[in-house]
Amino acid sequence: MTTTFSRTREQQAEAAVQFGAMLRRWRTINGWTQYTSGRWAAESGIDEIAHSGLSELERGLTKDPRVSKYMALATMNALVHAADFRGVTTRRLIDQLKGSRAICDEQGNPWGPAEFWACRAGLLAPPDWLAPVEANPAPRLSAIDAEELCDEWADQARRAARKSGAGRAGLERARTFAPAKERDRWADVLAQLHTYSPDELAELWDPAESEWLPAQWLAAWKATLPAPSGGGGG
């Protein structure tokens, strides 16, 4: 009996990890950042969206999600299915939300709170388009390749800070989007004081997303910048 209970708990934990991975795939396929739901809630006035805890669920930080979490996910999903983005006025956010794909059952009905709960419990599999993908190994880079990649990230950061008007202070804030242990090194890369070696970059590869982690940090920071002068509004 103890063995059966322990195995059940293990299966539930594994299902929770897969559920988080599914939510992450849903977010990235839709082109959302970790801040999209919060901005959506703030502009639309739909507080429930802000309480979805999407980022925490992705990372498995919420051990026993409350019913309100599943209700919030279902609300977001229903609005995506209906392409109902009323209240959203920022052009950048509208562009992120338009064309987003809802999670639906085989009949085309959007998942509700029960389906999200069942998926996290391991009782309902993700739809095929959100099923786990085979992990891809990090590309092999030469020292020159690594240097060019770092220079490109630094150049992207400078251009984004300049165009948005964020300036030096905004550029310095980009370091905070990396994990604490990586921030100083990442800041030096952006300032072109350090170049990741091929071995260092191999440790900064996200096999599930087939993407460099620094590219994700850069994208997350850029998503927080104000729209360029004359390019926002709506």
What is the mean predicted confidence (pLDDT) over 156-183?
91
State pLDDT tens for residues 15-41.
888 898 899 889 888 888 777 888 898
The distance of Cα 35 from the centroid of its chain, to the nearest Å, equals: 8
State pLDDT tens for residues 142-164.
999 999 999 999 999 999 999 99
Mean pLDDT of the chain: 86
From 203, 28, 208, 211, select the one nearest 135 (Cα to Cα). Answer: 208
pTM: 0.60
Amino acid identity at 34: Q
Q: Is the pLDDT of residue 203 over 50?
A: yes
What is the mean predicted confidence (pLDDT) over 118-124?
92
Burial per residue of 203-219, b for 16 or more beta-carbon CB atoms within 10 angstroms, e otherwise: ebbeeebeebbbbbbbe
What is the mean predicted confidence (pLDDT) over 48-77?
79
**What is the pLDDT at residue 3?**
56
Q: How many helices (H) and strands (E) does the chain have?
A: 12, 2
What is the mean predicted confidence (pLDDT) over 108-116?
96
From 109, 83, 87, select the one nearest 97 (Cα to Cα). Answer: 83
Question: Percent of the chain at pLDDT above 70?
Answer: 89
Question: Percent of the chain at pLDDT above 90?
Answer: 50
Q: How confident is the model at residue 231 (pLDDT cuts 50, 70, 90)?
A: very low
